[in-house]
């Protein structure tokens, strides 16, 4: 077999696998549409405001409900002590400019 034929076979296989990712994503979305709807309905019924990704502290469990200065909320000189805090940004300045009231 010529090297170019082998290379073409590898590239075509990889390209098909690449396209299959898109196909699989589409099919999975269709297959799990009911699950997504059920989660949306449950979240709306319970009035949930946040994802349950980080449950260790109140400002990481509900970042959308936390104060703007949540890293320092425990006491005046408190430093951030949960690793998740470094993955959650302080709420953006854009919000401050849009919000009429101080937080």
Each as own residue / partner, the long-range contacts of residues 79-83 (CB below 8 Å, 24 or more positions apart, any chain) are: 82/54, 82/56, 82/57
Chain-centre distance for alpha carbon 65: 17
Tell me the C-alpha distance between 88 and 67, whole Å.
13
Q: Does 77 bind other proteins (CB under 8 A)?
A: no
Q: Does 75 contact other proteins by CB under 8 A?
A: no
The count of chain residues that interact with other proteins, using the rule CB under 8 A, is 64
Q: Which residues contribute to the site for other proteins (CB under 8 A)?
A: 2-4, 6-7, 10-11, 14-15, 17-18, 21-22, 24-25, 28-29, 32, 35-36, 38-58, 60-65, 67, 73, 82-84, 86-89, 91-92, 94-95, 99-101, 103
């Amino acid at each position: 077999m010529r090297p170019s034929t082998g290379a073409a076979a590898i590239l075509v296989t990889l390209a098909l696998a690449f396209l299959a990712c898109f196909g699989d994503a589409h099919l999975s979305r269709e297959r799990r549409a009911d699950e997504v709807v059920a989660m949306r309905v449950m979240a709306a019924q319970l009035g949930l405001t946040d994802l349950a990704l980080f449950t260790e502290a109140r400002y990481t469990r509900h970042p959308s409900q936390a104060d703007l200065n949540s890293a320092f909320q425990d006491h005046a000189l408190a430093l951030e002590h949960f690793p998740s805090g470094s993955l959650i940004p302080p709420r953006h300045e854009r919000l401050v400019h849009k919000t009429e009231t101080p937080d």
